[in-house]
Homo-oligomer: A and B are copies of this chain.
């Protein structure tokens, strides 16, 4: 992995700890990713991004800052990146999927009942091993769950943390609340950056970020083919990197990959065995470098063809309506997108059941693995209704609760192997 000690030190990072954190990554990446057979050539770009994960992109952000552009980090698909882009800045998704920094966070957090994603996120800042944190003007939290809501209060002691109140229903009044929160966010960006957000720029930003969603949809569409032209692991990696990368470059590189995948489909060329069970992973996000579940599924002869997660369809399926000419119309449109996302933070959330049934059909899946980060109550409680609905459609489903550590890998391997065998009959 490329080393950028001067930059990391100038960002105030703990360079030694950062080395410890990155040290095992190349070996893991080799084992999980590079050793795959018949990988699409277009994955080269994404391999390069991972190899330099804390390098070139961070350098770009440092340069953005030097040019006076805002650099703002967030943790959730609900935060409207478009407004940051419209202010001429960069928006980075910070969600963290590594076990390493959890130890630091656990020393600061009073309980052990907290989801690993939140602990990992906080730990990255506490350990000073995430350059994206260090380069950010501020981070944006949201009230999507109890744990995150309270985590922002603790994170705010380490870095300015701006909180957006996402409502918990989709009523008209709730919608008004979110609209006013988006407006407040716009004003906060303007105040902190000294930049006025104009309708023309906002329209361009909405188009750009929609294009990113389009290319991800195009990528996912290729996964509907049988045989599937790309592994689930590779597709997951691309979505994970979508949160970090420069949108224009990401769109270009993913388009090139899609060209290749569409050629594969035409040639009937697949990545997995013909009879490999096609799996939909539904549930909680898998931020970089959380590859465990996909790796276990695909090492056991299955293939993941879709993720109904925040690092999957929830990230890109809902676009912002275009054509708004005034900022007010555009903010209305940004509100509209959020209100169409079926996150477990909303009640009721029956449309998520419909989403999963629809995706199971669209991607022609043989089974669903419901992935639940430990202690994520909203998603684990939705399993009851979702598993009932899937069983009514005779679609096999199993629930896996896990974290980012390797401690349960053996046990999960046994369970996933058994589930795939059961599907194959």
- Judged by a CB distance under 8 angstroms, whether A409 is at the interface is no
**Contact of A344 with B by CB under 8 A:** yes
Assess whether A340 is interfacial by the CB under 8 Å rule: no
| Chain B hits for A375, CB < 8 A | 113, 375, 377
Q: Are B110 and A380 in contact (CB under 8 A)?
A: yes
How many A residues face the partner with a CB closer than 8 A? 48
B-facing mask of A287-298, CB < 8 A → 1, else 0? 000000000000
CB of A316 within 8 Å of the partner chain: no
Complex: A150 Cα to B146 Cα, angstroms = 12
CB of A204 closer than 8 Å to a CB of B: no
CB-based contact A152/B347 at 8 Å: yes
Instruction: Given the known inter-chain contacts A374-B113, A384-B109, A399-B110, please indicate yes or no for A169 contacting B143, CB distance below 8 A.
Output: yes
- Are A181 and B177 closer than 8 Å at their CB atoms? no
Q: Is the CB of B111 within 8 A of A163?
A: no
Tell whether A147 pairs with B377 under 8 Å between CB atoms, given A113-B113, A348-B153.
yes
Contact of A177 among B113, B151, B167 (CB under 8 A): B167
The complex places the Cα of A111 from the Cα of B387 at a distance, in Å, of 13
Q: Are A176 and B176 in contact (CB under 8 A)?
A: yes
CA distance A28 to B379 in the complex (A): 38
Q: Which residue of chain B lies nearest to A141 when distances are taken between CB atoms in the complex?
A: B347
**Is A171 close to B, CB under 8 A?**
yes
With a cutoff of 8 Å between Cβ atoms, the chain B residues found around residue A147 in the complex are 377, 381
A324 → chain B closest CB, angstroms: 21
Using A110-B383, A145-B146 as known contacts, say yes or no to A165 and B176 having CB atoms under 8 A apart: no
Asked if A180 CB lies within 8 Å of chain B CBs, one says: yes
Q: Decide if A150 touches B109 in the complex (CB within 8 Å).
A: no
Q: In the complex, A378 Cα to B149 Cα: how many Å?
A: 8
A117 → B minimal CB distance (Å): 13
Q: Are A384 and B173 in contact (CB under 8 A)?
A: no
- Is the CB of A51 closer than 8 A to any CB of chain B? no
A246 to chain B, nearest CB (A): 32
- Residues 317 to 337 of chain A near chain B (Cβ within 8 Å): none
- A347 touching B150 in the complex, CB below 8 Å, given contacts A174-B177, A177-B177: yes
The listed residue (B109, B143, B347) touching A381 by CB distance below 8 A is B109
Q: Decide: A169 and B176 in contact? CB cutoff 8 A.
A: no
A146 B146 Cβ-Cβ under 8 A: yes
Contact, CB under 8 Å: B181 / A151: no
A108 on interface, CB distance cutoff 8 Å: yes
Tell me which of B171, B184, B381, B401 contacts A165 (CB under 8 A).
B171
What B residues does A163 contact at CB under 8 A? 169, 347
Some 22 contacts from A to B, beta carbons below 8 A apart, are A108-B384, A109-B381, A110-B380, A110-B383, A110-B384, A111-B377, A111-B380, A111-B401, A113-B374, A113-B380, A145-B146, A146-B345, A146-B377, A146-B378, A147-B381, A150-B377, A151-B381, A153-B347, A154-B384, A165-B168, A174-B177, A176-B177
Known pairs A168-B168, A177-B177; list 9 more (Cβ under 8 Å).
A146-B377, A150-B377, A150-B382, A153-B347, A154-B384, A165-B168, A165-B169, A173-B181, A174-B177
Could you tell me which A residues sit within 8 Å of B by CB distance? 108-111, 113-114, 143, 145-147, 149-154, 163, 165, 167-169, 171, 173-174, 176-177, 180-181, 184, 344-345, 347-349, 372, 374-375, 377-378, 380-385, 387, 399, 401
Closest A-B pairs by Cβ, 3 of them:
A150-B381, A111-B380, A173-B180
